[in-house]
Amino acid sequence: MAKTSNDPAAKAEVLQGTLVLLVLRTLEALGPLHGYGIARRIEQISKDLLHLNQGTLYPALLRMEQERWITSEWGASENNRRAKFYSITCGGRKQLEIETQDWERMRATIDRFLGSLA
Amino acid sequence: MSRLSVFAARLRSLLLRDRAERQLDDELRFHLEMQIEGNIRLGMSPREARYDATRRFGGLESTKREYRERRNFTATEGFGKDVVYAARALRGNPGFTAVAVVTLALGIGINATVFTVTDSVLFKGPPLVYRSHRLLYLTMDRGTVSWPAFQDWHAQTRSFQGMAAVNGSWLNLSDSKGLLEKVAGLQVSTDIFHVLGQKPLLGRDFVPADEISGTPPVAILTYGFWERRYGKDPGIIGQSVRINGIPTTLIAVMPPGFSFPWMQDIWVPLKLTPEIEKRDNRNALWFVIGRLADGATDRSARSEMESIGRALARTYPLTNRGWRPKVSSFSQFFIGSNAAMIYGSMWGEWLLCCSSPVPMWRISSWRAQWGSRAKLLSAWRSARLAGASHGN
């Protein structure tokens, strides 16, 4: 019955709220990147274990831009096409710190739960 | 800060809506093309590659919708949405916008002016008008009061610690300068300044003897008149001038800024004559001014004056039956019972002016609606005609 990790249905959905963390971390590590690049990077890092509905990335990027965590600029892509590049801002770095801490806290809490049940 | 920056971003996108929409299309198309090309490189057929790319993307239209909702103001943002709706509509209809803006600007401007003028002239009064909330104005409900009735009021009241009677008149003043001047004057009972709580700046106040016929005529000047006609010469006190041809001694100058009741230049004592002392002479006095005694209120003063009035009517039925004392505050006396109406009408006019663009708005949106309805109707008619001819 147990699904193997090769089963596409076993891919974990990107948790609500963690997308911001993933995007900010990606931009911090790789510098300016277009939406497709961010999506690919998230999928690569997660070794395709994480199922990202790529479309959901764009409203999230917009929101982050509105919050001034990232900025965007039109430029030429690696294959010389017009693309919108996103980069992290100072506020974005602060937000990344907050989100990371939140995630750590959450993980520790969940760990404790699982540990206590074991 | 965050709310504000989101708001600012949305406002920008509202103003640049078409451009933002094009850019969204470009960005998403770029994404899909990149994915398709990558898939082809991995060996997929173009068709497979496209299918896989859209599957991974997961709903292009829903993404766009979600994106737009986040980019623009949405229904969940109540007031924001209204503002945006209004802004869009105004932008789409510059003629209406211009008319509405001009209407509101004129309305607000004119009202502000009327408000200011009315408030300062009627409600606050000219700067020289003397007022105090402890001072009440007394007359008869059917007109003015007679001197003997005033004497009776004065003698019987407990609610007022002082009462004075005044009668306004224009006086002809001439002096050693030889220039005859018509001045706004006031005949007063001699305790007027005591009732008003004012003391002369220079010279002496009136004394009761000044009222008695045959005593030397005297007069007191306002500061303004003293300054204007006599250049603030203190030597004028004790000098004789002619008022209505009668030699009169100037005995005092009142403090700067004070006049009573309106913009009088000069006060002279009422001289008691047999004519004034007639109970049926109601032309002798303008009105009576009273200062409330400690502990008395407008209300208690009114009810006391009513009972005094009833007693007088019983005692002097021939002259006083049906005449009731009337007690008014400053604004009631000088503006009358219309005060509330004046204020109300100013507000009403303002509201009217602010709402005047509404019917224009309705008309212009009806026109727009009916325009599109007419198009629908004609489309429907042609469709029906087409169907009918097809049927045949």
> What's the average model confidence in pLDDT over A72-100?
92
Quick check: B9 and A65 in contact, CB under 8 A?
A: yes
CA distance A113 to chain B (A): 34
Q: Which of A15-19, B24-28, B152-156, B194-198 has the lowest mean pLDDT?
A: A15-19
pLDDT band at B68 (very low <50, low <70, confident <90, very high): confident
Task: Give dist(CA B290, CA B177) in Å, integer.
Answer: 38
How many interface pairs between A and B have CB atoms less than 8 angstroms apart?
70
Interface of A with B in 94-113 (CB under 8 A): none
| pLDDT of B390 | 46
A13 at the B interface (CB within 8 A)?
no
Q: Average pLDDT over chain B, rounded to whole?
A: 81
The lowest-confidence range among A18-22, A66-70, B95-99, B348-352 is: B348-352
Question: Does the pLDDT of residue B59 top 60, yes or no?
Answer: yes
Whether ipTM exceeds 0.85:
no
- Ranking B67-76, B99-108, B361-370 by mean pLDDT, the lowest is B361-370
Q: Closest-CA residue in chain A for B11?
A: A66
Res A3: pLDDT? 40
Query: Once rounded to an integer, what is the mean pLDDT over residues B280-299?
Result: 88
Q: How far, in Å, CA of B260 to CA of B330, rounded?
A: 12
**Per-residue pLDDT at B360:** 64
All residues of chain B having their beta carbon less than 8 Å from the beta carbon of residue A83 are: 27, 30
**What per-residue confidence (pLDDT) applies to A4?**
42
Going by pLDDT thresholds of 50, 70 and 90, the confidence category of residue B156 is very high
Chain A positions touching B6 (Cβ under 8 A) are 66-67
Return d(Cα B241, Cα B8) in angstroms, integer.
76
* pLDDT tier at B253, thresholds 50, 70, 90: very high
pTM above 0.80, yes or no: no
For residues B157 and B145, give the distance between their C-alpha atoms in angstroms, rounded to a whole number: 15
Question: At residue A76, does pLDDT exceed 80?
Answer: yes
> What per-residue confidence (pLDDT) applies to A64?
92
Res. B124 pLDDT band, cuts 50 70 90: low
Per-residue model confidence (pLDDT) at position B338: 63
Enter the tokens of residue B309: 């009035």
Q: Provide mean pLDDT across the span B83-90.
A: 76
Instruction: Specify the range with the lowest mean pLDDT, choosing from B69-83, B95-109, B184-198.
Output: B69-83
Taking CB atoms and an 8 Å limit, are A56 and B58 in contact across chains?
yes
Interchain pair A66, B66: CB under 8 A: no
**Angle of helix B78-92 versus helix B2-15 axis, rounded to 10:** 20
Residues B234-244 have a mean pLDDT of: 92
pLDDT value, residue B127: 47
| SS3 assignment for chain B | CHHHHHHHHHHHHHHCHHHHHHHHHHHHHHHHHHHHHHHHHCCCCHHHHHHHHHHHHCCHHHHHHHHHHHHCCCHHHHHHHHHHHHHHHHHHCHHHHHHHHHHHHHHHHHHHHHHHHHHHHHHCCCCCCCCCCCEEEEEECCECCCHHHHHHHHHHCCCEEEEEEEEEEEEEEECCCCCCEEEEEEEECCCHHHHHCCCCCEECCCCHHHHCCCCCCEEEECHHHHHHHHCCCHHHCCCEEEECCEEEEEEEECCCCCCCCCCCCEEEECCCCCCCCCCCCCCCCCEEEEEECCCCCHHHHHHHHHHHHHHHHHHCHHHHCCCCEEEECHHHHHHHHHHHHHHHHHHHHHHHHHHCHHHHHHHHHHHHHHHHHHHHHHHHHHHHHHHHHHHC
